[in-house]
Chains A and B, each alone.
Chain A
Amino acid sequence: MKQAHFQTLDANEAVARIAYQLSEVIAIYPITPASPMGEWADQWAAYHRHNFWGTVPAVVEMQSEAGAAGAVHGALQTGALATTFTASQGLLLMIPNMYKIAGELTPTVFHIAARSIAAQALSIFGDHQDVMAARQTGWAMLCSNSVQEAQDLALIAHAATLESRIPFVHFFDGFRTSHEVGKIEMITAATLRAMIKEELVTAHRERGLTPDRPVLRGTAQNPDVYFQAREAVNPFYARCAAIVAATMARFGELTGRTYQPYEYHGAPDAESVIVLMGSGAETVHETVDHLNAHGQRLGVLKVRLYRPWDAERFVAALPASVRKMAVLDRTKEPGAGGEPLYLDVLQALAEAGRKATTAGAFPVAPVVVGGRYGLSSKEFTPAMVKAVFDNLAAPAPANHFTVGINDDVCQTSLVVDETFSIEPPEVTRALFYGLGSDGTVGANKESIKIIGENTGYFAQGYFVYDSKKAGATTVSHLRFGPRPIRSTYLITQANFVACHQPLFLQRMNVAECLVPGGTLLLNSPHPPEAVWQHLPPETQRDLIAKRAKVYTIDALRVARAAGMGLRINTVMQTCFFSVSGVLPRDAAIDAIKDSIRKAYGKKGDEVVQRNIAAVDTTLANLCAVPVPEAVDSVTAIRPPVPDGAPEFVRRVLGPVIAGKGDRLPVSALPNDGTYPTATARWEKRNLAVEVPVWEPDICIQCGKCVFVCPHAAIRSKVYDDAVLDPAGFLSVPARLPEWKDKRYTLQVAVEDCTGCGVCVDVCPARNKSEAKLKAINMQPQAPVRQAGIRNWEHFLTIPELDRRTVSTQNVRSMQTLESLFEFSGACAGCGETPYIKLLTQLFGDRMIVANATGCSSIYGGNLPTTPWTKNHEGRGPAWSNSLFEDNAEFGLGFRVSLDKQRQFAGELLQQLSGALGAEWVEGLLTADQKDEAGIYEQRERVAELKRRLATLNSPEARRLLVLADMLVRKSVWIIGGDGWGYDIGYGGLDHVLASGHNVKVLLLDTEVYSNTGGQASKATPLGAVAKFAVGGKPAAKKDLGLIAMTYGNIYVASVAMGAKDEHTLKAFLEAEAYEGPALIIAYSQCIAHGINMATGMQNQKAAVNSGHWLLYRYHPDRAARGENPLQLDSGNPRLKLGEYRAMENRYKMLGKSHPEAAQTLLTRAQEEVNLRWKLYQHLAAREWKPGEDPPETPVPAAMGAAK
């Protein structure tokens, strides 16, 4: 019976289930790693799943976390049970409301997947910096350490908040717990019923605002009473810990799972104790057990109730024997006397010492030290726990230490014996290296379920992902064992390792983590007898030394034969079960087939059949590889970056690329978050299976391929005939008249190309004898790689054209300009990056970018490398990301600052004009910098200025020397996605545009929150399916451009390069040239549209042809000339909206799930498109006569009578 209550799931889902059951209003907003909780809630509500009381909760997506907190506050104040989910900056945005909610003694629970805070850099990973930033708000804080606890404490929090009237933050470690898949015992409806007291719900409701019992809440108070009123809540806080303890006890009686607010585990006579909270506590628990079994007397105190801090209970939970304590904080509070939990412990002990009556008072006051660990999901292992205990054992334990890093700057770090491992023998540990696209993670999640459901084993799955979106590597860490698994750290001692992609063998030693006698499974294209020699020597050595068993399969061949394409997941899963012995082989095969039917049943029979065929053909193709006695490798592990890379790239970024970033010491890293640009070029990722190959004779040199390439991996150069071409380097006479006597080369960076195929799709030139061939055609990368590398290196040595000679007025010519954005980690075929690349081609040497958090900040600024780069003069875009919500303001700050400095430079120039020459100074100050030539000349003048200033010895001259470069025009670009511009940052964007300052906004509109996984934004079109809009978005897309136009002084353009590239170019040039604010809204196809990304530019075209996306430019200068400022640049819609929508699964999938609703929404959407088109036609056709009074309108009779 009990078995039936076990399920395998992650903490986000487990917590969302409880929160959903116990809420009536749920306000959501996406933020990693909490987004899935909101997604689950929204999805369940869309499918009319009932909560505990039999009603479907109202789920509302807000524009920001601040909005979500406000909505929850309102819902609570009117008597509903309300909740939300968030993390990191999201929690920070909720803080103002949290004070209010607590001040009003309002029961609620916010569930937090605790995450780092953006400081020197953003991090999506787990630590307690966010929740610690909310500890002062008056909320109770309950911490869960595991998936099981996250579910259980979620319920305890909901029950305790109702009873205590103190709002609760329930938190658990982001990713480590939120995303860990584990087998847990589920809470039953009976338990829910027994835990939630109906009378407390009623009491909450009765406190709600209603005109039927009107009260006033939220007053303003004065010095006379505010203080007293603030103190009036104290009794509630005094009771809270007891309520939590009692609630935990009640829960224990119902479920058999007992928790304490402060829970001690370990030797009853322990002298050394570690105090901490979160997932790390489980690792300490496990390590304490291990060390105690080896004769030590140690303990761990798990803090579950962090606020209200109950010092007495805390002290009482400690054994009286304790002499030394290490308090570990998973947070950092620079400048503080210690981290928060450490200070709280000191306070508890100090006050306990003063109270003679305190139970558990110690004969000798314990020594207490504090340390930091685990920031941004940094590993926290048994070896580190041992290091902490070892430190306590020292005569003078280090205080304010760090553990898990090498702090060679302030020497805070403890020395860790990395060989120390406590992995118990009864736990099977398996490690899988895969690619995102090969389905490895999905298959492993299924494997965990199979084992969880088919055996009595407990199972744990944790997945490590890449920071790139294209060609991402995944590492799956799976544990199976007879007891609940407390190992909250990655596997470094694996019984089984699978390498799902042959290319990893050249990047790392996959046998490094294998235990002696372990099993290595390879997917290899080589026949079994040739597999061994293709392993690098390091791997061979390890396999020989460890007497490992090695198996191989050509999984790609088996998968392809079964009709599965590149999805080798089922093949490799079958091999895993076959050789790992976790389940009997036949039972495993049956279980895999069952899971295939369950997982793919919805997708149609042929998908199921293909997968089952793959299972059936796998075992016949799986071979053992004999391990010889000697190393005889014909291959080697490639260095992560070439030897020719700059020192910082080799020393710091190289190890990060190689997955060895954990070993970098503190001194290796910039202390203020500043990194060099131009680093992506060193990370030769070789992702593409196929790359474009140029046919010079067919090419018409139109530049379209270069224009659309999302990764700047295909480039053109025009150069003097004199440059000698090495053998095999292709070039032809340049075609444009102004390029007479020059040569033209179109070159592919084969190692940097992702193989997306967009360039080939847009190529308009066809072979006249064989029309399927174009001027570029996709061909396998491997055979052309070596020549491609040589040619690319030569291509880089060819000088760029003098920018002054290149016309920027047409795509053909300007596409020879150097891109200062290259090889980003964006998805293959990304629709955003070509726009950014274009910006850098046009203005890159003088631009400074404020980038909103989102896809563009990730592919632009996520370590290890950045695609932002610089030209041969060392100039290029300067880039920064502040936050998600403040990007427009951040960019405005750039502008105001640059303008101020330029103005000051001008003032200094005036002051020095006597020494510098008045006329020359005048020339500097009034230079026309509207085009490349003007900027070039101004730079020359500034260089001369610096020379002249160097000869002057005055404070003004020295100041001006520093500011001189400000005299050259700087272009400020504010870049972000629709989640930023339409939703969270809209208020700021609106204000900044309205300010009239000369800032340029590039809004990359994917019509969905792309970076967090496809949640609806206000840019999402009516009827499109997205997360948070499961039934198709019911409201039309916000017309941001139209709103901006109402100000009159903002340049506004709506562009789609796939529809009209010249229009995009024109808009970019006009926007930059305009002396005022500009907004460009750029249609960007996205993987979240469910489209074939290779042909994404066709989607852009269809979007415009159907009228879904309009092309227009609104130019205030035209109005100043007496012309209508709005030019509608796209023609009459000539495609039915439905025909465009049929190209995209974000629309089509609704037809498959809710056909009637899909039809209704399509009809409405077509009407909306028709009306919008007519409106724009009208606006663009208006006679522009601002001086003319509006015609008199007759006053309606009724109003006239009133007069």
Chain B
Amino acid sequence: MNLETTYLGLKLRSPLVPSAAQPLTENLDQIKRLEAAGAGAIVLHSLFEEQLSLERRDLFECLEQGTESYAEALSYFPVPSEFHVGPELYLKKLARAKAAVRVPIIGSLNGATRGNWMDYARQMEQAGADALELNIYWIPTDPSLTALEIENRYVDILQAVRQQVRIPVAVKLSPFFTNFAHVARRLEAAGADGLVLFNRFYQPDLDLEALEVTNKVLLSTPMAMRLPLRWTAILRDQLQLSLAASSGIHRASDALKMLMAGADVTMMCSALLRYGEQHLAVVERDMRHWLEQHGYASLDQLRGSMSQRSCPDPTAFERAQYVRAVSSYPR
């Protein structure tokens, strides 16, 4: 069974791709294990520019406190010969990953300033990334910002990066726009080679006893796949760029649904964290089995077969469907 797919212009042996997540690609051994388990490509965890900046600030403020104050202790730490406080470690990891595996390595970038989006993107390309994923992760809270201004910011970032690199660029974003289809089309027009649907925001929680806001990460459940499934099916027929479906993909059946809706690749995180890298191989085996059982010749044949336009009931993906879904819920 041929599972090949093309994502961002890259030929992949399988549409199963681990998504950008720190715990998945922390070290080289994990990356090798992901390849061995059949990953079609590997998206490295994101380089969070803002985090680098905060860490840097924390590091230097803490190392500087109390210095040059008291005659016996003019400093409290040795001066390191070098400090990798910029993207060096990430880039080094990217280069090593590239050298260690044969599958494409996609660098992921989460920036806070325009200047660094561009610098870091170029550096990732130089370090050997086959493609870039721009993880635009932003919750606008300023009530004076209009929808247009918000959308423009996404487009600006993409264009700025696009001008810096020759490798393909995907945009990973949230679904929370006035008209997501419009935003998607603008991004394609601005040069995006693909969209990753969607970014999962880590939603805050409250600790009732400590009276604190907590940010404990919850792993996704298959429930979470409904939203990207809908938009994959809708966008597939509207856009030419690559689509990666992300969120809630845990089993072969989940992946198959996304592919049917029109995704070029499906990205997994929670399931791999829960069951280990080997789970990729399990999903692939199950997927092959299903495809064979159902008489598909290749994955290509299935892809997009249930997009909005290709499915038996296109209105099912639109808003009107909501009422019927609720009324059909068993009581």
A: residues with CB less than 8 A from B are 32-33, 35-36, 39, 42-43, 46-47, 124, 175, 179, 435-437, 439-442, 463, 465-469, 472, 474, 602-607, 766, 771, 827, 858, 1010-1014, 1025-1027, 1030, 1087-1088, 1090-1093, 1145-1146, 1148-1149, 1152-1153, 1155, 1159
Q: Is the CB of B59 within 8 A of A1152?
A: yes
Q: Which residues of A contact B78 (CB under 8 A)?
A: 39, 42-43, 46, 1025-1027, 1030
Q: Which of B198-250 contact A (CB under 8 A)?
A: 211
Q: Is the CB of A474 within 8 A of B86?
A: no
Does B176 count as interface, using CB distance less than 8 angstroms?
no
Q: Which residues of A contact B297 (CB under 8 A)?
A: none
Most buried by A among B52, B67, B68: B68
Contacts A1091-B62, A1145-B63: A472 and B69 contacting too (C-beta < 8 A)?
A: yes
Q: Which residues of B contact A1013 (CB under 8 A)?
A: 72-76
Q: Is the CB of A47 within 8 A of B81?
A: yes
Pick the contact of A1014: B52, B71, B77 (CB < 8 A): B77
Q: Is the CB of B70 within 8 A of A472?
A: yes
Q: Which residues of A contact B81 (CB under 8 A)?
A: 46-47, 1153
Q: Quick one: closest B residue to A1012, CB to CB?
A: B72
Does B330 count as interface, using CB distance less than 8 angstroms?
no
List the 8 shortest-distance A-B pairs measured between CB atoms, nearest first: A436-B69, A1013-B73, A441-B68, A1014-B76, A1153-B80, A472-B69, A1090-B62, A465-B71
Number of interface residues of B (CB under 8 A): 35
Does B58 count as interface, using CB distance less than 8 angstroms?
yes
Contacts A602-B85, A1148-B59: A474 and B76 contacting too (C-beta < 8 A)?
A: no
Give complex CA distance A1091, B74 in Å. Answer: 17
Q: List 5 A-B contacts (CB under 8 A).
A: A175-B71, A437-B69, A827-B66, A1088-B73, A1090-B59
Q: Is the CB of A1149 within 8 A of B69?
A: no
Q: Is the CB of A1149 within 8 A of B71?
A: no
Does B152 count as interface, using CB distance less than 8 angstroms?
no
Does B56 count as interface, using CB distance less than 8 angstroms?
yes
Contacts A1014-B77, A1090-B63: A466 and B70 contacting too (C-beta < 8 A)?
A: yes
For residue B111, give the distance in angstroms from its CB to the closest CB of chain A: 13
Does B53 count as interface, using CB distance less than 8 angstroms?
yes
For residue A1111, give the distance in angstroms from its CB to the closest CB of chain B: 22
Q: Is the CB of B72 within 8 A of A442?
A: no
Q: Is the CB of B67 within 8 A of A474?
A: no
Q: Which residues of B contact A124 (CB under 8 A)?
A: 71-72
Does B65 count as interface, using CB distance less than 8 angstroms?
yes
Q: Is the CB of A1155 within 8 A of B89?
A: yes
Does B142 count as interface, using CB distance less than 8 angstroms?
no
Give complex CA distance A46, B52 in Å. Answer: 26
Give complex CA distance A674, B78 in Å. Answer: 38
Q: Which residues of A contact B52 (CB under 8 A)?
A: 604
Q: Which residues of A contact B85 (CB under 8 A)?
A: 602-604, 1152
Given contacts A1014-B73, A1026-B78, 11 further A-B pairs with CB under 8 A are A124-B72, A606-B56, A607-B56, A766-B211, A1013-B74, A1087-B65, A1087-B66, A1090-B77, A1145-B59, A1148-B59, A1153-B80
The 8 A CB mask of B82-108 against A (1 = contact, 0 = none) is 111110010000000000000000000
Give complex CA distance A442, B66 in Å. Answer: 12
Give complex CA distance A1159, B93 in Å. Answer: 14
Q: Which residues of A contact B62 (CB under 8 A)?
A: 1090-1092, 1145
Does B79 count as interface, using CB distance less than 8 angstroms?
yes
Q: Quick one: closest A residue to B71, CB to CB?
A: A465
Give complex CA distance A36, B79 in Å. Answer: 12
B: residues with CB less than 8 A from A are 27, 52-53, 55-60, 62-63, 65-86, 89, 211
Pick the contact of A604: B56, B65, B66, B74 (CB < 8 A): B56
Pick the contact of B82: A1012, A1014, A1093, A1153 (CB < 8 A): A1153
Give complex CA distance A1087, B75 in Å. Answer: 10
Q: Which residues of A contact B72 (CB under 8 A)?
A: 32-33, 35, 124, 858, 1011-1013
For residue A1023, give the distance in angstroms from its CB to the closest CB of chain B: 14
Q: Which residues of A contact B82 (CB under 8 A)?
A: 602, 1153
Pick the contact of B69: A469, A606, A1014, A1090 (CB < 8 A): A469
Pick the contact of B83: A463, A603, A1087, A1088 (CB < 8 A): A603
Give complex CA distance A766, B70 in Å. Answer: 37
Q: Which residues of B contact A605 (CB under 8 A)?
A: 86
Query: Which secondary structure dominates where chain B touches chain A?
Result: loop
Give complex CA distance A33, B72 in Å. Answer: 7
Give complex CA distance A437, B60 in Å. Answer: 13
Q: Is the CB of A1153 within 8 A of B83?
A: yes
Q: Quick one: closest A residue to B52, CB to CB?
A: A604
Contacts A602-B82, A603-B85, A1030-B80: A469 and B68 contacting too (C-beta < 8 A)?
A: no
Q: Which residues of A contact B76 (CB under 8 A)?
A: 1010, 1013-1014, 1087-1088, 1090
Q: Which residues of A contact B56 (CB under 8 A)?
A: 603-604, 606-607
For residue B188, give the distance in angstroms from its CB to the closest CB of chain A: 33
Give complex CA distance A466, B66 in Å. Answer: 12
Contacts A1145-B62, A1145-B63, A1155-B89: A602 and B83 contacting too (C-beta < 8 A)?
A: yes
Give complex CA distance A540, B72 in Å. Answer: 36
Give complex CA distance A781, B66 in Å. Answer: 22
Q: Which residues of B contact A36 (CB under 8 A)?
A: 74
Q: Is the CB of B67 within 8 A of A442?
A: yes
For residue B197, give the distance in angstroms from its CB to the closest CB of chain A: 32
Give complex CA distance A605, B27 in Å. Answer: 27
Q: Which residues of B contact A1030 (CB under 8 A)?
A: 78, 80
Q: Which residues of A contact B84 (CB under 8 A)?
A: 1152-1153, 1155
Contacts A46-B78, A1014-B77, A1152-B85: A466 and B59 contacting too (C-beta < 8 A)?
A: no
Q: Which residues of B contact A1148 (CB under 8 A)?
A: 55, 59
Give complex CA distance A1045, B66 in Å. Answer: 36
Give complex CA distance A680, B299 in Å. Answer: 80
Give complex CA distance A175, B70 in Å. Answer: 12
Pick the contact of A465: B59, B63, B69, B75 (CB < 8 A): B69
Q: Is the CB of B63 within 8 A of A1149?
A: yes
Q: Which residues of A contact B67 (CB under 8 A)?
A: 436, 442
Give complex CA distance A766, B213 in Å. Answer: 14
For residue A174, give the distance in angstroms from its CB to the closest CB of chain B: 10
Q: Which residues of B contact A436 (CB under 8 A)?
A: 66-70
Q: Which residues of A contact B211 (CB under 8 A)?
A: 766, 771
Q: Which residues of B contact A604 (CB under 8 A)?
A: 52-53, 56, 85-86
Give complex CA distance A1027, B59 in Å. Answer: 16
Q: Which residues of A contact B53 (CB under 8 A)?
A: 604, 606
Give complex CA distance A1091, B59 in Å. Answer: 9
Contacts A1087-B65, A1145-B63, A1153-B84: A32 and B79 contacting too (C-beta < 8 A)?
A: no
Give complex CA distance A35, B70 in Å. Answer: 14
For residue B252, give the distance in angstroms from its CB to the closest CB of chain A: 33
Pick the contact of A607: B60, B63, B77 (CB < 8 A): B60
Give complex CA distance A23, B57 in Å. Answer: 38
Q: Is the CB of B73 within 8 A of A1149?
A: no
Give complex CA distance A607, B63 in Å. Answer: 14
Q: Which residues of A contact B89 (CB under 8 A)?
A: 1152, 1155
Q: Which residues of B contact A1088 (CB under 8 A)?
A: 66, 73, 76-77
Give complex CA distance A1155, B73 in Å. Answer: 27
For residue B80, give the distance in angstroms from its CB to the closest CB of chain A: 4
Q: Which residues of B contact A467 (CB under 8 A)?
A: 70
Q: Which residues of A contact B73 (CB under 8 A)?
A: 1010-1014, 1088
Most buried by A among B62, B69, B83, B85: B69
Q: Which residues of B contact A1091 (CB under 8 A)?
A: 62
Q: Quick one: closest B residue to A600, CB to CB?
A: B60
Give complex CA distance A765, B135 in Å. Answer: 40
Pick the contact of A469: B57, B58, B70, B75 (CB < 8 A): B70
Give complex CA distance A175, B72 in Å. Answer: 10
Q: Is the CB of B69 within 8 A of A603?
A: no
Q: Which residues of A contact B71 (CB under 8 A)?
A: 32-33, 124, 175, 179, 465
Q: Which residues of B contact A43 (CB under 8 A)?
A: 78-79
Q: Which residues of B contact A607 (CB under 8 A)?
A: 56-57, 60
